[in-house]
Structure 1
């Protein structure tokens, strides 16, 4: 069986990349073409229109697409989760200096960011902050960070920038900051154009991040792919394989980056500021076999965040987490495979 699987170049595409590059899919009799997509919107549309047989996709976006809230509606199944956490809020160096936060602790950073955001909004020149898609944990983490400081998304200009373009946009002054998955914050720090201000794992610990989404009609044919994905997840979860995994991801046909930068996120050893020390970050990104089982409880969390961000009416949260949404997460298929 030949499959085309889409992904956006990020560290948390690791399980899908390893499944193919380490030969696990071939051993299951699958011929798989990995397709690097330029943005989440492009990936969403290609998946919904049947141009992809599956994809590494934002968990909120998979849900929104499944329910017809974003792009063409498509009946999807998500039989496996690919990652939790792994995001970071990175600010331009001028904005970081303007914060003059009392400390690097998230509450202090949040208060300082909210103060600057409100001041800039009052002057008619709001901060321009980037998320990777409206239906993303990144949008919800921006909302949470600003709310923690006493402000809201209404005080800033929130724009969408695809993950691989965030560092360039920051360097060109098109945005004042971004929330993005690994390794792009480390790339910004290494390039000397950004400062990591807050980690996603500190804003919303255990945040559901990416899932493997397939068209619903793949249900009866998904077992070989799921077996390969389970083996790949087990391999990715072994600390001794991190350097090899970073090299796989860093290859020009995938992220095209220095593996050492990717390894920082995989090992939880991050440089927060250009030229600064490397600090240990516990649970920065969660990859591995233990993360594979999609948790139905995450659907309730996602709907609550969508409602808080004004993407669905609050009264629809309970109804939205009903049978239609519940049909998205199919842990039974993973177990059966």
Structure 2
């Protein structure tokens, strides 16, 4: 069976790329045609109109799409999660220097950030922050970070949406003052000399649910072979002994087109945060494999709660039940037991 799967160029698309390139899909009788998409909105719409058979997708966006809150309402199911964590908040080097944070603790950095943001807001020059999509853990992590410093993200900063592959360039061009994005684009901003990683997402919100495998609901009964292939690929990606090979694979022009050493930082959790080479080490910075793969309906509950706090919806028992129903641990369990 041949499947077209969409992805946005990020490290957490690794399971799809490894499955396609290293034989995991072929072992299940599948040929995967991976389609690199420029933005989450494009991927969402192409999945909705049937140009894709499935996708590497922001978990909150899969829920929003299925509930008719973002783009065409699309009946989707999530038979598998792809990863946990992997995001970071990065600011421009001039902003970091102005913050004068005494240490790298989350609350210290958040308070220093809020102090500058409040001053800029009083001056009529609010900080502009980039997120990858309104319905994303990135948006919610930015809100949590702001709140840790006593800042109201909605009224005291300006939030704009920029696709992941363009967000570091937007910082370089001084169109934004900071952003939250998945790897490798934080590390790209550091490596190219204009960004400073302020907070790792895994420090701000441990085990944050991130990307999922989103499929049309009509494919639920036929997804077992794909789930098995991606599960085995994800377990391979989780093995640190494979990180150098995986980084080399992801670095290819047709995939992420980013130097392998930058990608390996995210895969190993040994993250360079500034141009002086300072590092933050977190083995849970980006998680694949057994710990991440089984879709958890409790994650849908969290997304609905965060979306309500962000003013994106009015939660109800009916809405929560509909969101939970999109997550299908039964499909995951059946695939792995088959």
TM-score (norm 1): 0.97
Name 1:333's counterpart in structure 2: 331
Name 1:320's counterpart in structure 2: 319
Alignment of 1:226-237 (within 5 A): 226-237=227-238
- Rounded to whole Å, the distance in 1 between the matches of 2:278 and 2:133 is 31
Contact 1:306 1:312 in 2 (8 A): yes
Name 2:167's counterpart in structure 1: 166
Unaligned runs of 5+ in 2: none
Contact 2:141 2:205 in 1 (8 A): yes
Name 2:193's counterpart in structure 1: 192
Deviation at 1:97, TM superposition (A): 0.9
User: After the TM superposition, which of the residue ranges 220-229 and 65-74 deviates more from structure 2?
Assistant: 220-229
User: After the TM superposition, which of the residue ranges 96-105 and 127-136 deviates more from structure 2?
Assistant: 96-105
Deviation at 1:317, TM superposition (A): 4.5
Name 2:118's counterpart in structure 1: 118
Deviation at 1:191, TM superposition (A): 0.5
- Rounded to whole Å, the distance in 1 between the matches of 2:204 and 2:318 is 27
Contact 1:303 1:317 in 2 (8 A): no
- Rounded to whole Å, the distance in 1 between the matches of 2:250 and 2:289 is 16
Alignment of 1:136-285 (within 5 A): 136-153=136-153, 154-285=155-286
- Rounded to whole Å, the distance in 1 between the matches of 2:316 and 2:302 is 10
Q: Structure 1 317/202 Cα, relative in aligned 2: closer, same or farther at 3 Å? A: farther
- Rounded to whole Å, the distance in 1 between the matches of 2:136 and 2:316 is 17
Contact 1:127 1:156 in 2 (8 A): yes
SS in structure 2 of the partner of residue 71 of structure 1: coil
Name 2:309's counterpart in structure 1: 308
Name 1:21's counterpart in structure 2: 21
Unaligned runs of 5+ in 1: none
Contact 1:121 1:127 in 2 (8 A): yes
What is the root-mean-square deviation of aligned Cα atoms in Å? 1.1
TM-score (norm 2): 0.97
Contact 2:298 2:324 in 1 (8 A): no
SS in structure 2 of the partner of residue 212 of structure 1: strand
| Number of matched pairs | 334
Contact 1:307 1:317 in 2 (8 A): no
Contact 2:301 2:324 in 1 (8 A): no
Contact 2:297 2:325 in 1 (8 A): no
- The 4+ residue runs of structure 1 with deviation greater than 2 A are 275-279
Write out per-residue CA displacement over residues 58-111 of structure 1, whole angstroms, 9 at most, x where no aligned residue: 000001001000011000000000000110000001111111123221101111
SS in structure 1 of the partner of residue 114 of structure 2: helix
Write out per-residue CA displacement over residues 228-284 of structure 1, whole angstroms, 9 at most, x where no aligned residue: 112111211212111111111111110001111000011010111112233322311
Deviation at 1:319, TM superposition (A): 3.3
- Rounded to whole Å, the distance in 1 between the matches of 2:164 and 2:247 is 18
- Rounded to whole Å, the distance in 1 between the matches of 2:317 and 2:124 is 38
Contact 1:183 1:265 in 2 (8 A): yes
- Rounded to whole Å, the distance in 2 between the matches of 1:105 and 1:136 is 24
